A = this chain, B = another copy of it.
Amino acid sequence: MQVKATVPITVADIKSACSQCNLLELCLPFGMSETEISRLDELVGTRRKIKRQQHLYRAGDPFEAIYAIRIGWFKTDVVLEDGREQVTGFQMTGEMLGLDGISTETHSCNAVALEDSEVCVIAYDKLEELSRVVLGLQHQFHKVMSREIVRDHGVMMLLGSMRAEERLAAFLLNLSQRLTARGFSPAEFHLRMTRDEIGSYLGLKLETVSRAFSKFQEEGIIAVQQKHVRIVDIDKLHKLIQHPVALR
């Protein structure tokens, strides 16, 4: 194992998460001043590695912390008594998990790693405490929660008012946009989730998702092979949503 240059790894490095982290502009510290961010370092107590398919938390677990994803992908889902599962979101680097737990002090959904991942553990009581003194933190945390609410409304729109192909188009555009913000290619990526999980998220059956992928491919909009997707014609993708196939 080689270490970059000759900087010794100290306890400080491990502890001082935020100020050293390259996810600044994607994560909770976004928009905060340098001095504010340096105060955040006391916030992230631990990091936690989660292997693929393992739970970060489960519905019913007592709520203690929220999590910022450092590396990897997660899905969150809720499950009905009869076993029906609804995926409520896919989260990637820099995004927050666990906000659902604040309301009842118990998590109300499951968070599962889609690949080997790592999260920063942010003790909630510490966050409340610190956000009383670090103004930027309070503000940014509220924004993060609000953004989640807005995102959820978008998903409702998708589930309540769009047809299968529009939903998939919206899904792909959303992924592309979030990957771009993280410096990845906007046009080419690997899906971390199965067709079944995409279907659950989009309110469709996996066969319908698969057929929509194939249709897009036939029409020269994307190139798919299993989990690998390349967006060939992003305009067409946009138009699919703006001008639905059937005028209704």
Contacts and interface: CB of A to CB of B under 8 A. Distances in A.
Interface string A137-155: 0110011111111101111
Contacts of A152: 149, 152-153, 155-156
A150 B88 CA distance: 10
A86 B160 contact: yes
A20 to B, nearest CB: 27
Copies of the polypeptide in the assembly: 2
A174 to B, nearest CB: 15
A229 interface: no
B99 A160 contact: no
A100 B146 contact: yes
A80 interface: yes
Q: Which label, helix, strand, loop or mixed, suits the secondary structure of the A interface?
A: helix
Interface stretch (A4-12, A41-49, A196-204, A215-223): A196-204
A146 B78 contact: no
B159 A156 contact: yes
Interface string A77-117: 01011101111100000000001111110001100000000
A81 to B, nearest CB: 6
A149 B160 contact: no
A160 B202 contact: yes
A200 B157 CA distance: 9
A128 interface: yes
A82 B244 contact: yes
A84 B244 CA distance: 11
B100 A153 contact: yes
A149 to B, nearest CB: 5
Interface of A: 78, 80-82, 84-88, 99-104, 108-109, 128, 131-133, 135, 138-139, 142-150, 152-157, 159-162, 200-203, 241-244
13 contacts: A78-B156, A81-B242, A82-B244, A99-B146, A102-B142, A104-B147, A104-B150, A128-B142, A132-B135, A145-B146, A145-B149, A148-B149, A149-B152
